[in-house]
Structure 1
């Protein structure tokens, strides 16, 4: 935790200095960053109130009042008495205020362009995606389900996908189940066999991506005209409980039903309790169980079958 806090504080120091937040005159204007932000929100809202600005930006009511007095003095806002509540005043930008805001926005765009001018397109994409992740994770009412809103699903493989999937399987199963390096060797073997016998018509793989990074997968491999195997079902820990795994699994099951397979099976070990719970909820039944020594552990290998017709 201490290292996390230290890294966040280090980033804050870097970022506030990098974009000039510490300057009293932000973007060479007569206003500070907080004042410019208030001006931006007034323009963005079209019409608003002092109370709304205070709540929206979590600023002190007295501070907001002082800034608005400055804006009135500079004739960049106007206050109009509310028809609904005579005690309240509607705040809007004047024509002068709109012009000031446009100039500030143009300067801000130029500042950002200068900051990122030496970045390659992939680096810019990484930067923007990272910023989006920060926004999602740090909102006051953060919920893991919010991550799922930005997850995209696709069918099929792209160059590099299998290498990444091998990496993720090896890393996660070592961390969560204590498997040794021989498990990664096993995963490499399964994907090698998959590629050697791959049939685009009968073998399918679906991937979930967040910011173009794979965060979940599932595959269906045809074993005969009547039977298929479910393989490589996985969701990264931070995306568990968001519905990502459920959607991947249901997609695979719907495909099997459309193909009119009579039976779908999977192989797992008893330690994969969360995954097994999902399998059982959709109707899989344990049909085999045998003790074995592999991947550095004594394991209970299990087979689960789902009758589709």
Structure 2
């Protein structure tokens, strides 16, 4: 990234902060600052919610969230209670007064959005809202984390179950993991391989595995992205991360196979420099086999 790009981001942040009113002690002319108002909105009308999940969604530390909740609870807007099945877990829900204040916040937020758009003509409004949608998508992509996990980790297991369930729906005749050449979990653990899991706001939204067999090309397995995280460039990011890690392990070739029903995946592989090659395994669910030669500095 360049110095100019960093400065553009900073200017954008300052402009947004000024225009949406987060600098004021009383957000949207209400009785509380932005942090309390945002938390009140995040809790929502439905509940109760696990406080840890709310905190992860907002990316806030536990001490700050506790202070915000105490202020809201003192004003009678939320109720903080132990989870009925696990008293170690705290939950939060809106009270009736909290729901009324949240409804008022929604009305005032609509009014603020209308005021931002009102001075613009129809073409400018379309440009602004389209740009906002793109910024939202890219900012969301920037908060996705990717970590190496054991394939037996609950988040990894969730991704693999979700992947298999989706293939069951997509493949003609369904998908039976018992008939697939699924890698043994040990093949996706160091030093024989690795398994990546992507998380958005603390929730698993994607995965990809890499086999690193001795004396053979690296092989990518089980690349999957949750439907709600598609459009963020995550599949390409996972693919690039595996390629980089394969190169770091001294591999100069990486392979993968895919099913004809996975058209988006096939387009991704072709667009990422993979060339179709003859079958290199007996995977019964594969119709296409791809290979890519890695170069120093592959990313």
TM (normalized to structure 1)?
0.52
Check conservation: 1:225, 1:261, Cα contact below 8 A.
Answer: no
The 3-state SS of whatever aligns with 1:271 is coil
**Is 1:167 paired with 2:161?**
yes
Aligned-partner Cα distance in 2 for 1:113–1:215: 32
Maintained 8 Å contact 2:210/2:221:
yes
CA pair 267-116 structure 1, distance change in 2 beyond 3 A: same
Q: What SS class does the counterpart of residue 182 from structure 2 fall into?
A: helix
- The aligned runs of 1:1-309 (5 Å cut-off) are 38-40=29-31, 108-111=72-75, 115-119=79-83, 120=87, 122=89, 124=91, 141-142=132-133, 143-157=136-150, 159-182=153-176, 184-186=177-179, 190-191=182-183, 193-195=184-186, 197=187, 199-288=189-278, 301-308=287-294
Which aligned runs of 4 or more in structure 1 are off by greater than 6 angstroms? Answer: none
Post-superposition Cα deviations, 1:249-272, rounded to whole Å, max 9, x if no partner, equal: 111111111122121111112221
Give, in whole Å, the separation in 1 of the partners of 2:166 and 2:75. Answer: 41
Query: Unmatched 5+ residue regions in structure 1?
Result: 1-34, 45-104, 128-134
Alpha-carbon displacement from aligned partner over 1:31-73 (angstroms, at most 9, x marks no partner): xxxx9961446x66xxxxxxxxxxxxxxxxxxxxxxxxxxxxx
Distance 1:198 1:269, change over 3 A: closer
**Cα 1:283/1:36, change in 2 over 3 Å:** closer
Q: CA RMSD in A?
A: 4.0
Structure 2 CA distance, aligned partners of 1:201 and 1:271?
Answer: 32
TM-score normalized by the length of structure 2: 0.54
Does the 8 Å CA contact 2:72/2:78 hold for their aligned counterparts?
no
Change (3 A) 1:287 1:106: closer
Tell me how far apart the structure 2 counterparts of residues 244 and 112 of structure 1 sit (CA, whole Å): 41
Aligned to 2:48: none
Task: Please report how far the alpha carbon of residue 235 of structure 1 lies from its aligned counterpart in structure 2 after TM superposition.
Answer: 0.8
1:256-300 Cα distance to aligned partner (Å, 9 max, x none) = 11122121111112221111111112211100269x9967xxxx6
Which ranges of structure 2 fall in alignment gaps of 5 or more residues? 1-25, 35-68, 95-105, 114-128
Residues of 2 paired with 1:36 and 1:255: CA distance?
46
Matched-pair contact (CA < 8 Å) for 2:80–2:92: no
**Structure 1 position 205, deviation (Å):** 1.3
What secondary structure sits across from 1:115 in the alignment? Answer: strand
* Structure with max Cα Rg: 1
